Amino acid sequence: MIVIKFGGSSVADRQQIEKVANIIKSRADQPQMVISSAHKGVTSQLIEAATQAAQGHLDIPLALARQQQICQSLGCPDACLKTLYEELTALLRGISLVRELSARTLDYVASFGERMSVRVIAWYLRQQRLNALPFDAWELGLITDSNFGAARPIEGYQQAIAKQRTTFENVIPIVTGFIAKDQQGNITTLGRNGSDLSATLFAEALVADSCEIWSDTDGVMSADPGLVANARNIPQMSFREASELARFGSRILHPASLEPVTRAAIPLRVMNTNAPEHPGTLIRQTTSDHRDHITSIAYKEHQTIVTINSSAMLQHSGFLAEIFTILGRYQIVVDMISTSEVSLSFSTESSAQLNLALRELKAFGDCEVVNNKTIIAIVAPQPNDFIRYNVDVLAILQAQQIDTEMLSLGYRSINLMLLIDDVHISQAVQSLHNAFFTH
């Protein structure tokens, strides 16, 4: 069995959905499950409509416009989505009346994107003589916790999904990505771009032979092709390399999506809907190709750096534990850390929570906070490769008058992280890419 996931851009309009139909046909020799995102732009439009409604501005025609346009272009009859349109209309009306939008209600609104897209796509595929049926992920056993906006499956989900296998025997199930239900029956979402995670969770639970993620680049690239014109495809990489890249915003895969397939050792392919004959990128436990260059350069912008300077740190045990206990209490996510005897710097995203934590962190020493920083992550196939390639990253950036303000490489890590100013992103990524790929 193969699990195939199509992202928002792959199902953006009639032209793209036709390509999707061809891809599904080309894989008809084996049982398949299709996971789909909402059509590109629909989720954002729904979230915007809910936010506006909570402020008393109700515009139902605008909220439905994109979806209706796609239906029309496909010739999909209104009846196909009538009940969902009615439910969404009533929901937005309710929000505009009570002027309140909880995380739970926002997930409920956002869920309509996928609920509508799978029905329309399944309808279209049936016109193409494919035996497709739409499913909401919860009908096939995907039940999560109640952490609205970032829900995760509850224990036992693999068995719960596997038990539903007979529900979609002999059909091609077109399943909603991104959404699920909690144990009380409330609709939840896995977080923006969460359809990748839906796909890998289903692949794991159904012990799929492979999982394919279809989007709009030729697999994973050596750098953001928007910044680096000669960025190239990476034919193969390990789960470890892929998860470092996903975490640092390579934008191709949801960071959490690699865990289920890594656990189950299911090969993951990243493919391009606009170039289906391109082999894309194969991600699996180990890679057989011995590359003579790094894997890829990713970056994460708009980061905040907190530095705590304190001589109390010197020879003091438990200091870091106390600091991270505070960060944990405020649910602050830290990506990059660097310490010396008397100072600690870490990167995070600016938030109200961070401000609260800072009030407590000040008790430990001077706290300095700077914004608008970018972490550049240079990921290599093997630890030590950075030394082997003999590329002086600091000198390369300095030659462009870019200061490296922080640096981190863990023990036998495959991810070298550098911190620069946001304004230098494109210059820095281009010059590093040149240096690593032409050395």
Nearer to ligand ASP, 7 or 365 (CB): 7
**Concatenated DSSP letters of 374-429:** EEEEEE-SSTTHHHHHT--HHHHHHHTT----EEEE-TT-SEEEEEEEGGGHHHHH
Nearer to ligand ASP, 141 or 194 (CB): 194
Residue with tokens 């049926």: 133
**Nearest approach, Cβ of residue 56 and ligand ASP (Å):** 25
Q: Which of 134, 153, 173, 177 binds ligand ASP (CB under 6 A)?
A: 177
Nearer to ligand ASP, 43 or 281 (CB): 43
- Where does this chain touch ligand ASP (CB under 6 A) — which range of 20-28, 97-105, 193-201, 337-345? 193-201
What would the two tokens of residue 193 be?
């771009």
Amino acid at 31: P
Could you tell which of ligand ASP, Mg ion, none binds residue 280, using a CB distance below 5 to 8 A set by kind?
none
For CA atoms 347, 400, 377, 411, the dihedral sign is negative
Nearer to ligand ASP, 113 or 260 (CB): 113
- Where does this chain touch ligand ASP (CB under 6 A) — which range of 88-96, 192-200, 354-362, 388-396? 192-200
Nearer to Mg ion, 7 or 280 (CB): 7
What would the two tokens of residue 315 be?
């020879």
β-pairing verdict for 210-215 and 187-189: unpaired
Nearer to ligand ASP, 192 or 291 (CB): 192
Size of the site for Mg ion (CB under 5 A): 2
Task: Give, as ranges, the residues between 23 and 62 that touch ligand ASP (CB under 6 A).
Answer: 37-38, 43
Nearer to Mg ion, 213 or 305 (CB): 213
**Nearest approach, Cβ of residue 253 and ligand ASP (Å):** 10
Q: How far apart are CA 95 and CA 254, in angstroms?
A: 30
Nearer to ligand ASP, 11 or 234 (CB): 11
Instruction: Write down how long the chain is.
Output: 439
Q: Which of 194, 260, 280, 381 binds ligand ASP (CB under 6 A)?
A: 194
Could you tell which of Mg ion, ligand ASP, none binds residue 178, using a CB distance below 5 to 8 A set by kind?
ligand ASP
**Concatenated DSSP letters of 56-114:** T---HHHHHHHHHHHHHHHT--GGGGHHHHHHHHHHHHHHHHHT---HHHHHHHHTHHH
Q: Which of 112, 123, 138, 178 binds ligand ASP (CB under 6 A)?
A: 178
Nearer to Mg ion, 35 or 357 (CB): 35
Residue with tokens 């000669």: 230
Amino acid at 218: D
Size of the site for ligand ASP (CB under 6 A): 12
Packing angle, helices 60-74 and 14-26, rounded to 10? 50
Task: Give, as ranges, the residues between 134 and 193 that touch Mg ion (CB under 5 A).
Answer: 193
> What are the CA-CA distances from residue 112 to residues 81, 333, 345, 350, 371 (Å)?
10, 29, 42, 30, 36
- Residue 255 interacting with ligand ASP (CB under 6 A): no
Binding mask 190-219 for Mg ion (x = CB under 5 A): ---x--------------------------
- Where does this chain touch Mg ion (CB under 5 A) — which range of 1-9, 20-28, 103-111, 312-320? 1-9
Nearer to Mg ion, 27 or 251 (CB): 251
Amino acid at 429: V
Phi first, then psi, for residue 272 (nearest 5°) are -110, 115
> What are the CA-CA distances from residue 438 to residues 85, 230, 297, 430, 433 (Å)?
54, 11, 14, 12, 8
Q: Which of 2, 5, 6, 7 binds Mg ion (CB under 5 A)?
A: 7
Sheet holding 406-409, edge to edge: 337-339, 343-348, 296-309, 366-379, 415-421, 406-409
**Nearest approach, Cβ of residue 67 and ligand ASP (Å):** 12
- Residue 9 interacting with ligand ASP (CB under 6 A): no
3-class SS of residue 349: coil
**Nearest approach, Cβ of residue 192 and ligand ASP (Å):** 4
Instruction: Work out the angle at residue 39's Cα, subtended by the Cα atoms of residues 35 and 120, and round it to the nearest 5 degrees.
Output: 70
In the complex, the residues that contact ligand ASP under the rule CB under 6 A are: 7-8, 37-38, 43, 113, 177-178, 192-195
In the complex, the residues that contact Mg ion under the rule CB under 5 A are: 7, 193
